[in-house]
Amino acid sequence: MNLYPVLLDLRGAPCLVVGGGAVATRKVRGLLAAGAAPTVIAPEISPELAEHKEGGRIDHVSSSFEDALLEAFQLVFVATSDPKVNADVARLAREAGVWVNVADDPDGSSFQVPAHFRRGELTVAISTGGASPAEARRVREEIEHYFPSSYGDYLELLRKIRARLLDRDGPGSAGNAERFTGLVRSGLRERFLAGDTAGSDAILREILGPGYSIETLRGGGES
């Protein structure tokens, strides 16, 4: 199956999750992490979902699913224990023109959620096109340890450097394009992740010039 990879900005987006068990709970967990506004339709929900409901993070509809509800949502996730219910909801969603994901049914889905992990702003996603979700998870586990938790801090450093250079020179600067490329190929990442502040500062000054250091980029003053 040839799928088009895409990352969605779901901040504030109304998303529907049909089901209240373990799989539905994982779907809601991911949606909340992305800033979405989930609504769960299920007669009963897991303790975790109940906590989210109590905290006002999700809406819960305990009545049965009705297709008229679909028009209010951008994405639908179907995760009940009844294959027929899953298939019926998926069909209605497609007929309504709403993207739908059906747990354990890639052929019945209009989009899939890949195995993935995050380190700050870094998102790494792995998909087997539905051939083997278990293998996708294994690949994720094999590469995840190459990216320590401090990788998010490294990306934040690059973000600040980029913003500072663009503010100084404006977009489209050929010199800045060379500097950005030079930074990511310079060994800065390895030194930063190893906690080598002096080595990181030396690279920053060599490529960007005086005035650049870990401390100044973090807002700690002049260098």
Task: Identify the CA nearest to 79 among candidates 54, 59, 108, 56.
Answer: 108
Q: What percent of the chain has pLDDT over 90?
A: 80
Structure tokens at 78: 């179907």
CATH topology of domain 14-113: Rossmann fold (3.40.50)
pTM of the model as a whole: 0.83
Question: CB 2: neighbour CB atoms within 10 A?
Answer: 4
| Residue 218 confidence class, pLDDT cut points 50, 70, 90 | confident
Indicate the pLDDT class of residue 222, thresholds 50, 70 and 90.
very low
Q: What is the mean pLDDT of the chain?
A: 93
Per-residue pLDDT tens over the stretch 43-75: 999 999 999 999 999 999 998 888 888 999 999
Q: Residue 81 has which token pair?
A: 């224990």
Residue-wise pLDDT tens digits, 13-28: 999 999 999 999 999 9
Instruction: Look up residue 100 and give its amino acid.
Output: V
Q: Where are the chain's structural domains?
A: 14-113, 115-146, 151-217
Tokens of 143: 């590469």
Q: Can you tell me the mean pLDDT for 82-97?
A: 95
Given a cut of 90, whether residue 171 has pLDDT beyond it is: no
Q: Decide if 151 contacts 169 (C-beta within 8 A).
A: no
Residues β-bridged to residue 99: 75
Question: Which DSSP string do the residues of 50-85 spell out, in sequence order?
Answer: HHHHHTTSSEEE-SPP-GGGGGG-SEEEE--S-HHH
* 3 state DSSP class of 214: helix
pLDDT over 60 at 137, yes or no: yes
